[in-house]
Each structure stands twice: as structure tokens, then as C-alpha cells.
Amino acid sequence: MTSILRIAWKNLFRNRRRTLANLTTIALGASALLIYQAFNGGILHEYRENTIHGYYGHGQIFREGYYSQVLEKPWKRWIENPAEVEAKLSKIPEIKGIFPRITVYAFLAKGEKNLGGKGEGIVADRENNFFNQINIEEGHDIQNEKEIILGKGLANSLNVKPGDTVTVLTQTVHGQLNGAELQVAGIFHMGKKVIDDTFFRIPLKVAQELLDVKSVELISIGIEDNTDWSVVEKKIRNMDPQLDPISFQTLDKIYYQNTLDFLEVQFAFIRLVILIVVGLGIFNSISMSLFERAGEVGALRANGESRKRLLAILVSESMLLGLAGGILGIILAVGLDKSALSKGIVMPPGPGVTKPFLVHLYFEPFNFISAVILPMLAAVVAGLWPIQKLLGRSIASLLRAN
């Protein structure tokens, strides 16, 4: 086998023009496939990062049964001992961020304008670094307990800007009216109209005072990116069976998971079309080069070479061509990523989003493996039919081909 591979390798350099033409075809096909896969990966990676670092974290923790039910008095099923739960969570090494939160439905008043909104009480000094997909358009993030940030649409409707004061009015869990005057620290947009038009964020302590509670509704968590969520989920459930950890894929099924499923099916179909087109190009290139060698094959046959040995040599040539073409394709794709595509590709708003986003090629290890294996398989398969046709002809007809 080693001698056959050595002969096949040397044969590639006997006609460098023909080999270069085949390598170019295979390398361009492998590069196109790799770039397309990396582009798809970039889109999916961007969606994932926007979902995790825009709002949910890698997952959220509720009291058992809270998330799956609609409750008349939901605050009775909130996490009543948040400090103890946070202390337990901090002992799980995979968890890198702990973010307690409370949802607040309130009216925001500025002058004669009074609008309803959905807000969230947060620990700002923890969240500001991790949730970096909240785009502050004006002003800054919350920096003290007297500040509030508003969604762009809500701020426009109230006609407020950073530095203005708004009044937040709501009911406590006991049914009493409560309110607080807060200064607008910043105005943000997340690209989702439903959030930008109604959403606001206030310090967690202020939210607890407005609702007259000491509990928290949920705890968002951030984990190491290479950690499987199921591992963290199992540890949390073992730590406290009363807690219910839920991944961001489940929490945002409509925006993230449904979009992911849709795009993966679409990408798979287009990837199949690209594979067929690339395969046909490789087939045409290799077939032409093999038929050009009919006289050479006839001479070898006349000198006593067996069909079986010639089949092994020619198939090995196709395999080595595919392997070398795949490697060149990877070099070309990575080179383009580092040069022409280094600044990313600006994409129009996706499903459910109102802002454009920037996509960078996102290479995964499997992409490089497939960029080598698929062209190699395509080259071997493309060569089988013309090789069989050549070896099936008589020596006389092959020699006349010269």
C-alpha cells in the first residue's frame, strides 16, 4: 500500500498543469464550503451571544413550579432566601455570574405623560459587564440606586433623555400604591421592538422597596462557555431540589430556539446544493484529466500492469488530490477571513429583530475536518466512473488514444 501511495504521489507531479487545474477546482470548492459553514456558524453564534448576553444569561433559576404555572400571587413562589441560594450557587465552579432579579410592572410618569412598562430590578454592578449586548445609545448604565435606564421606544414616548427624572408608580404585593423618583441614567436598545418600547431597568433594592418584598423572582446565571448546561443543571438540582434551573434555549424558545431550528434546516439544504455543485465541478475536472491519460494507461497495461493495481494507483491519486485540495481550501478560507472578511459582514435585521448585526466567520473544529474529508471523498467518488471506463477498455483502444 505504501508503494502505491508513493507512486500516486509522484504521478501528481508528472503533469503539473493538469494537477494544478484539479487542485484549483477542489481548493475553491473546499474553500466555498468552509466559508459557508463558518458564515452559518457566525450567524448562529451571534444569535446565541445576543440571547445570552442580552437578557437571559445561560439560564435562570426559579422556585420549583413557578415557571410552568400562571399564579394569582406569583410573589408567594419567589425565592425567599436569595442570599443563602447565592452562597450555594457560588460553590459550583462552573458558575461564573449570579444575577438576582425581580420583574416590576409599573407606570412611568413624566409631566403629563403616564405610560405602562415592564421593568426589572437588577444588581447593576454585576450585570453591566456580563450583559454587554444591551446597547446603551445615550448616557450610561445604572451606577447608583437612584438611577433608571429606559428602552429607546419607551424613552421617546415619555420624551425624556439622560439626566431627566421620571416617577415610577406601582403597587406593593399588599395592594398599596408605592412610587419612586429616579434619574434617567441611559437609554438602550436591544433590537427587539417589544422590549425597546416597554422595558426599563432599576436597581434590585429599589424594586424590592417598591413591591415591599425581600425575596427575588429569579436568579440568572452565567457559566463557562465550554460547559454543558446539563452538568450545571444537575448540580443545582442536587444542591437544592426546590430550585428549578431552566436553560436560555427553553426560556427564549420563540426567538432563539425556533430561529435556530429554522436556520439549521435552511443551511442544511443550501449546504447540500453547494456540495452537489462542487462535486460536479470536481467530477468534470478529474474525468477530463483521466481520459487524457488513456494512452498512458494503455502503455502500462501493455507492460503487464494489472487492472487491480492501476485501479489502486488512480484511486489513490484522486484521494491525494482531494486531500491536498481540501488543505489548500482551508488555507484560502482562513486567509480570506484574516484579510477581506476580517471586519465581518453586516447583515440586515433577522427574524424578530429591528437592528442590523455584524457576523464574523466562526470556524468550528468539525468545519475543518469536513473541509478535508468531503473534498477527498468527492474526488474519489468523481474518479471511480472514469477510472472504471478506462480500465474496462482494451489495450489496443487505449493505445490508439495517444
Tell me the per-residue pLDDT of 165-185, one tens digit each, with 9 for 90 and over.
Answer: 999 999 999 999 999 999 999
Whether residue 393 is predicted with pLDDT greater than 90 in this model: the reply is: no
pTM as predicted: 0.76
Residue 150: closest CA among 177, 113, 95 = 113
**Radius of gyration for the chain, computed over Cα atoms and rounded to the nearest angstrom:** 31
pLDDT at residue 84, as a whole number:
93
The residue ranges of every structural domain in the chain are: 2-52+257-400, 65-241
pLDDT tens track for 219-242:
999 998 777 899 999 999 999 999
Whether residue 125 is predicted with pLDDT greater than 80 in this model: the reply is: yes
What whole-number distance in Å separates Cα of residue 67 and Cα of residue 69? 6
For the chain, what is the largest distance between any 2 Cα atoms, rounded to a whole number of angstroms? 103
Cell readout for 323 is: 486531500
Confidence bin at 214 (pLDDT 50/70/90): very high
What whole-number distance in Å separates Cα of residue 66 and Cα of residue 59? 15
pLDDT at residue 318, as a whole number:
84
Confidence bin at 354 (pLDDT 50/70/90): low
Q: Which residue has the higher pLDDT, 325 or 313?
A: 325
Residue type, 188: F
- Tell me, rounded to whole angstroms, the distance of Cα 357 from its chain centroid: 13
Whether residue 140 is predicted with pLDDT greater than 80 in this model: the reply is: yes
What whole-number distance in Å separates Cα of residue 27 and Cα of residue 219? 49
DSSP bridge pairs for 245: 61
Whether residue 104 is predicted with pLDDT greater than 90 in this model: the reply is: yes
Residues 6+ apart with CB under 8 A from 67: 244, 246
Dihedral of alpha carbons 267, 269, 271, 277, sign: negative
Q: Of the given ranges (57-61, 233-237, 347-351), which has the lowest mean pLDDT?
A: 347-351
Cell readout for 191 is: 433590537
Confidence bin at 71 (pLDDT 50/70/90): confident
pLDDT at residue 273, as a whole number:
81
pLDDT at residue 43, as a whole number:
84
Q: What would the mean pLDDT of 113-138 be, rounded to a whole number?
A: 89
What whole-number percentage of the chain has pLDDT above 70?
97
Q: Give the containing element (helix H, strand E) for 123.
A: none
Q: C-alpha distances in angstroms, 390 versus 23, 302, 304, 398?
A: 22, 14, 16, 8
Q: Are 342 and 399 in contact (CB under 8 A)?
A: no
pLDDT at residue 158, as a whole number:
94
Mean pLDDT of the chain: 86
